[in-house]
Amino acid sequence: MSKLFFFDVETTGTRHWRHSVHQISGCIEIDGEVKEYFDIRCQPYHAAEIDPAALEISGTSMEAIKGYMPFKDAYRVILKMLGKYVNKFNKKDKFFLVGFNNASFDNHFFRAFFVQNLDDYFGSWFWSSSIDVMVMATQYLMRRRHDMVNFKLMTVAAALGIKVDENKLHDAQYDIDLTRSIYKIVTAGK
């Protein structure tokens, strides 16, 4: 049984030890069937620094995040959702984290989200090895990589023939939809 936790985060900066998530979006897919989508917007961790440039990239503002769900409540929502699909006490029952460039960015912020909520049991829900769709796309596009201006989500999606709405980029829910589309293309036939 494959349990995939497709996710993307939007953050208040680029350092997971200093900044915080303010949006966690994605979907849960089990054996190829989407079980649910989620889009959780939360106030940043109380001690987090907030870089206005990071908020601008994600199209949000200080005023907007003040109206988001409290950080602790967002954590409770995540735990309740995870508990519907994984028995955290069963060492053989876990999700694979799946994202675009998640191994070097999103995974760290998501784990920090747990730690900031005084939860050291992130590994009870997720396998330590994750699936990074950017890495998978690298092999898939290696013969065309030299023609690409960069390897950002938008560029990779476009190279694979996926229509991209640039106005929606950096919204975690939209980014995860692009990531899932890329994942389906690079894993087709496997």
Question: Tell me: the pLDDT tens digits for 24-48?
Answer: 999 999 999 999 999 999 999 999 9
The structural domain count of the chain equals 1
Beta-ladder partners of 5? 28, 97
Write out pLDDT tens, residues 50-75. 999 999 988 899 999 999 999 999 99
pLDDT on residue 109: 97
- Say what the alpha-carbon torsion angle 114, 108, 51, 47 is, to the nearest 10 degrees: 30
Write out pLDDT tens, residues 132-177. 999 999 999 999 999 999 999 999 999 999 999 999 988 888 999 9
Per 3-state DSSP, the chain is made up of helix, strand and coil in percentages (nearest 5) of: 40, 20, 40
pLDDT on residue 172: 83
Which of the four pLDDT bands, split at 50, 70 and 90, describes residue 1?
confident
163 CB contacts (<8 Å, ≥6 apart)?
Answer: none
What is the DSSP annotation of 64-99?
HHHTSBPHHHHHHHHHHHHHTT--TT-TT--BEEEE
Range(s) of the domain holding residue 129: 3-187
Write out pLDDT tens, residues 105-118. 999 999 999 999 99
**Per-residue pLDDT for 189 more than 70?**
no
List the CATH number of the domain containing 23.
3.30.420.10
Give the 3-state secondary structure of residue 2: coil
**How far, in Å, CA of 15 to CA of 104, rounded?**
11
Tokens representing 143 are: 């013969």
pTM for this model (two decimals): 0.93
Which of the four pLDDT bands, split at 50, 70 and 90, describes residue 190?
low
Burial 94-128 (b: 16+ CB within 10 A, else e): bbebbbbbbbebbbbbbbbbbebeeeeebebbbee
What is the DSSP annotation of 124-165?
GTB-SS-EEHHHHHHHHTTTTGGG-S---HHHHHHHTT----
